């Protein structure tokens, strides 16, 4: 017994150190952040802003000015309610005091300027693939937007999801920070479309089913599934779901919201269309080329109608 307790104590301490290390909020290294200190291109930053769908989540509810990023939108999920923060240029209530490095750590590592984990309701698992240059340009653009007063409320989450430190374990399972490498066998438009869809546009975040921990089921990526807020079913946009749609059909939906059978998208996709419509036509065409190349994948079965 005398030997058991010291050994047990050492094992316990080793376990606690391992958990602490695994759950630490890891940030970008200086090498990974090369280029952030260069002058940002505001024009490209506006494209990144629209491609990333910033206004869809961060625009203050109840008003129509897509440049007022006061936050406050409530996202109700099985884990609790997430409140979207103010990312306006207000120095205390928004992100006006942030550096480009702060934004890069938020988008690519899911870590706040205070060194805390962000919850993955903020889709940094996809933004992690955005280029440093685009993040720098986005910061330059965000600084031109009006300051909006008012801090948003905190999240209202169920236990144990309220324990922010353990988001580090979730990241170890589901956060892939590898950059998107261009495929030389594909066209320039296809590669641009892949980057817009798989990084900035974060299409798979909504159009993929998730497991019990909230991670994307990679084998069914883009194959649709239940809406995270319980507001219906998100469609399959692989070849299985798009079927006979042409590239022009996909590009038209991104521009106008109209489908080939003269229907129109609704719910949160209507907001996505507003973002996509603000992009250059070449970018929408590129996304259409990439999405139409996705192989057919069966999504999860829809629940029977009651």
**Residue 17's pLDDT is what?**
62
**Residue 99's pLDDT is what?**
94
| Alpha helices (runs of H) in the chain, residue ranges in sequence order | 4-22, 42-51, 54-58, 100-109, 124-127, 132-142, 167-174, 188-195, 203-206, 239-242, 247-256, 267-277, 281-291
**Residue 46's pLDDT is what?**
96
Prediction pTM value: 0.88
**Residue 165's pLDDT is what?**
83
**Residue 15's pLDDT is what?**
55
Residue in the block written with tokens 């910033």: 54
66-to-44, 56, 69, 214, 252 alpha-carbon distances in Å: 17, 8, 7, 29, 22
Domain ranges of the chain: 33-174, 188-291
Sheet holding 80-83, edge to edge: 74-77, 80-83, 156-157
pLDDT along the chain (306 residues), means of 10: 55 60 81 88 96 91 88 85 92 94 96 92 93 96 94 84 82 90 95 96 90 89 80 86 92 91 78 91 96 92 70
**Residue 306's pLDDT is what?**
55
């Amino acid at each position: 017994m005398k030997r058991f307790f010291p050994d047990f104590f050492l094992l316990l301490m080793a376990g606690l150190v391992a958990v602490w290390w695994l759950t630490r909020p890891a940030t970008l290294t200086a090498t990974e952040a090369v280029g952030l200190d260069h002058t940002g291109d505001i024009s490209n930053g506006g494209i990144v802003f629209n491609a990333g769908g910033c206004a869809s989540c961060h625009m203050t509810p109840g008003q129509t000015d897509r440049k007022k990023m006061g936050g406050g939108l409530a996202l109700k999920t099985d884990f609790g309610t997430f409140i979207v923060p103010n990312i306006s240029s207000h120095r205390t209530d928004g992100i006006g005091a942030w550096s480009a490095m702060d934004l890069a750590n938020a988008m690519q590592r899911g870590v706040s300027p205070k060194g805390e984990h962000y919850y993955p309701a903020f889709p940094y698992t996809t933004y992690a693939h955005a280029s440093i240059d685009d993040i720098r340009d986005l910061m330059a653009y965000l600084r031109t937007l009006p300051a909006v007063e008012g801090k948003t409320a905190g999240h209202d989450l169920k236990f144990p999801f309220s324990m922010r430190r353990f988001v580090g374990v979730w990241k170890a399972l589901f956060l892939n920070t590898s950059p998107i490498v261009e495929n030389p066998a594909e066209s320039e438009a296809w590669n641009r479309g892949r980057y817009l869809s798989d990084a900035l546009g974060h299409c798979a975040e909504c159009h993929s089913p998730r497991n019990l921990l909230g991670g994307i089921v990679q084998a069914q990526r883009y194959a649709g599934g239940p809406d995270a807020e319980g507001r219906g079913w998100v469609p399959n946009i692989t070849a299985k779901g798009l079927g006979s749609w042409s590239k022009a059909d996909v590009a038209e939906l991104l521009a106008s919201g109209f489908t080939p059978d003269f229907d129109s998208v609704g719910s949160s996709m209507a907001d996505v269309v507003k973002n996509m419509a603000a992009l250059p036509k070449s970018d929408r065409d590129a996304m259409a080329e990439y999405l139409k190349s996705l192989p057919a994948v069966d999504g999860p079965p829809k629940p029977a109608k009651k």
